[in-house]
C-alpha cells in the first residue's frame, strides 16, 4: 500500500487550477485502497483514505497577489511571496504530513526548504514541474526583448535547488523535460506524464465540410494576455484576408490586450464551457510563449478542431497531422498557417478528425496512472535501500 503525502500550493479540485491534477491522482490512489495526506491552500473535493489540512484564510492571499500583478502592478513578482508563504506553512506541518509507514512526498512547487526537511528525514520526493523553468523565461526574455514574462532570479535559485534535491521530477511534456535538462537535470531523473482530457460522453457530432471561400471561425481559450501570445495573434489577424472571418478569444481579458484596436471581427465571450463552445468553431490557435502542456489544446483537439500551436505550448499536436507547430514568437508563420486553412478548407475536417483521435490517447485516468507509477518507482527504490540493511541487522 502506498502512503503518499501531497504538498500542493493550490486549491485541490478547482477547475482551471493545478489542483485538478492533484485531485485526480488522490482519487486514483483512494480507489485502489491507498492512503495519504494532502496539505494545500484548500480542498474543494476530497477522497476517502486521505487526511486534509488547508491554509485557512492564508490560502486566499496568493489570489490577491496574482490580482495585484494583473490589475495594479504588472511585473510584480507575486510568485516569490506566494511560494515562500506556502513553504513556511508546509514547514510548520511537514512532520504531521509525513507520518505513517514509508511515506513518499509529492511536492507541487519549488520549495527547497521543504524538500530539505523531507530529504533529511529520509523521505523520497517527487517534484512537480508544471511549466518550463524560469531559466527558459530568462533566456527568451533576453533573446526577444520581452518585458512581460516572470523572469525574477529568486525563482531561478528556488527551482535549481528543488530540482537538485528531488529524487524524481514529473514533467508534463517533452518541451519541459528538455528545458529541465538545459539547467542541468539529468534525463534519468525526469519522467513525463502528459496531461489529459475527458470530453463529455455520447456520440460525436460529425463536422460538416467547409466549402471554399466560406467564412472561418478561429478561436483561442485561456488567459488573454501577452504571455499566451495573444498580441501576436491580433497582429496576424490584421491581414485583410480575414475580413470575413471571426476570431473568438475565450477567457479572462487582461488590460494589456487592446481588442478594440482589431481591424477584423473579434468576439470576447469571457469564460466558456469549451466542450459546448469550441465545436462551433473551425480552427484553434494557441501561440503561447511559455507553457508546460496547455490543457486548452487538449480540449480543442477533443472537440475535433485542428490546432495551430507554438513549440512552447508543450502540446501533443503533431505538425502537419493534427494541425501545425510553429516557433514561439513567429507571427509570420502564425499568419501563414491561419491563411493556409482558408485556402485548404477541406483539411479542417481531416485534421480535426486526426486531432480528436489523438486526444483520445490522453485521459486524466491515464495521467494519474503514470504519476502513480512514479510513486511505485520511488517506493521500490526505498525498499531496495532498506532491505540490505535489515538483512545485515538480522
Query: What is the crossing angle of helices 153-165 and 134-144, to 10°?
Result: 140
Grid coordinates given for 286:
494557441
Residue 332, judged by CB atoms within 10 A of its CB (0-12, 13-18, 19+), counts as exposed
Residue whose C-alpha is closest to residue 66's, from 195, 223, 288:
223
Grid coordinates given for 33:
485502497
CATH tag for 3-196+363-393 (out of 3.30.460.80, 3.30.70.20, 1.10.1740.10, 3.40.50.2000):
3.40.50.2000
Answer whether 3-196+363-393 and 217-359 agree in fold. Answer: yes
Given this model, what pLDDT does residue 150 score?
A: 65
**Domain limits, the chain:** 3-196+363-393, 217-359
Given this model, what pLDDT does residue 227 score?
A: 95
**CA dist list (Å): 109 to 85, 88, 97:** 12, 13, 16
For the sheet containing 125-128, what is the strand order?
A: 50-54, 35-43, 3-12, 104-107, 125-128, 168-171, 190-192
Given this model, what pLDDT does residue 95 score?
A: 80
Helix (H, G, I), strand (E, B) or coil at 71: helix
Grid look-up 463536422 returns 207
Query: If you classify domain 217-359 with CATH, what class do you get?
Result: alpha beta
Grid coordinates given for 223:
488567459
Mean pLDDT by 10-residue block, N- to C-terminus, for the chain (394 residues)?
A: 94 90 96 94 95 90 78 73 88 79 93 93 95 93 85 81 96 97 96 94 76 92 96 97 97 94 94 95 97 95 97 96 97 97 95 96 96 96 63 39
Backbone angles phi, psi at 28, to 5 degrees: -65, -40
Given this model, what pLDDT does residue 387 score?
A: 46
Task: Report the alpha-carbon distance of residue 10 to residue 40 in Å, rounded.
Answer: 6
Amino acid at each position: 500500500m502506498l502512503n503518499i503525502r501531497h504538498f500542493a500550493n493550490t486549491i485541490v479540485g478547482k477547475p482551471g487550477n493545478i489542483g485538478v491534477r492533484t485531485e485526480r491522482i488522490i482519487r486514483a490512489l483512494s480507489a485502489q485502497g491507498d492512503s495519504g495526506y494532502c496539505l494545500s491552500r484548500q480542498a474543494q473535493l476530497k477522497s476517502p483514505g486521505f487526511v486534509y489540512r488547508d491554509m485557512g484564510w492564508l490560502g486566499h492571499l496568493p489570489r490577491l497577489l496574482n490580482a495585484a500583478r494583473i490589475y495594479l502592478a504588472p511585473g510584480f513578482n507575486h510568485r516569490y511571496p506566494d511560494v515562500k508563504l506556502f513553504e513556511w506553512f508546509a514547514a510548520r506541518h511537514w512532520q504531521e504530513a509525513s507520518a505513517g509507514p514509508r511515506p513518499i512526498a509529492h511536492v507541487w512547487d519549488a520549495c527547497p526548504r521543504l524538500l530539505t526537511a523531507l530529504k533529511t528525514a529520509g523521505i523520497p520526493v517527487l517534484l512537480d514541474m508544471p511549466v518550463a523553468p524560469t531559466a527558459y523565461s530568462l533566456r527568451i526574455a533576453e533573446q526577444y526583448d520581452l518585458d512581460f514574462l516572470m523572469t525574477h532570479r529568486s525563482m531561478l535559485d528556488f527551482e535549481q535547488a528543488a530540482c537538485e534535491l528531488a529524487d524524481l521530477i514529473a514533467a508534463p511534456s517533452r518541451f519541459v523535460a528538455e528545458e529541465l535538462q538545459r539547467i542541468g537535470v539529468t534525463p534519468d531523473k525526469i519522467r513525463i506524464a502528459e496531461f489529459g482530457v475527458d470530453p463529455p460522453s455520447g456520440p460525436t457530432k460529425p463536422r460538416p465540410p467547409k466549402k471554399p471561400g466560406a467564412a472561418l471561425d478561429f478561436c483561442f481559450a485561456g488567459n488573454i494576455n501577452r504571455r499566451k501570445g495573444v498580441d501576436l495573434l491580433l497582429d496576424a489577424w490584421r491581414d485583410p484576408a480575414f475580413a470575413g472571418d471571426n476570431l473568438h478569444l475565450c477567457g479572462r481579458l487582461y488590460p494589456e490586450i487592446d481588442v478594440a484596436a482589431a481591424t477584423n471581427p473579434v468576439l470576447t465571450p469571457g469564460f466558456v464551457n469549451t466542450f459546448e463552445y469550441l465545436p462551433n468553431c473551425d480552427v484553434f490557435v494557441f501561440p503561447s510563449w511559455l507553457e508546460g502542456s496547455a490543457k486548452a489544446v487538449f480540449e480543442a483537439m477533443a472537440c475535433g478542431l485542428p490546432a495551430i500551436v507554438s513549440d512552447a505550448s508543450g502540446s501533443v499536436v503533431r505538425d502537419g497531422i493534427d494541425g501545425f507547430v510553429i516557433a514561439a514568437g513567429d507571427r509570420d508563420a502564425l499568419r501563414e498557417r491561419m491563411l493556409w486553412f482558408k485556402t485548404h478548407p477541406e483539411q479542417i475536417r481531416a485534421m480535426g478528425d486526426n486531432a480528436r483521435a489523438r486526444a483520445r490517447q490522453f485521459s486524466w485516468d491515464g495521467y494519474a496512472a503514470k504519476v502513480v507509477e512514479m510513486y511505485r518507482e520511488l517506493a521500490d527504490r526505498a525498499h531496495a535501500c532498506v532491505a540490505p540493511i535489515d538483512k545485515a541487522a538480522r
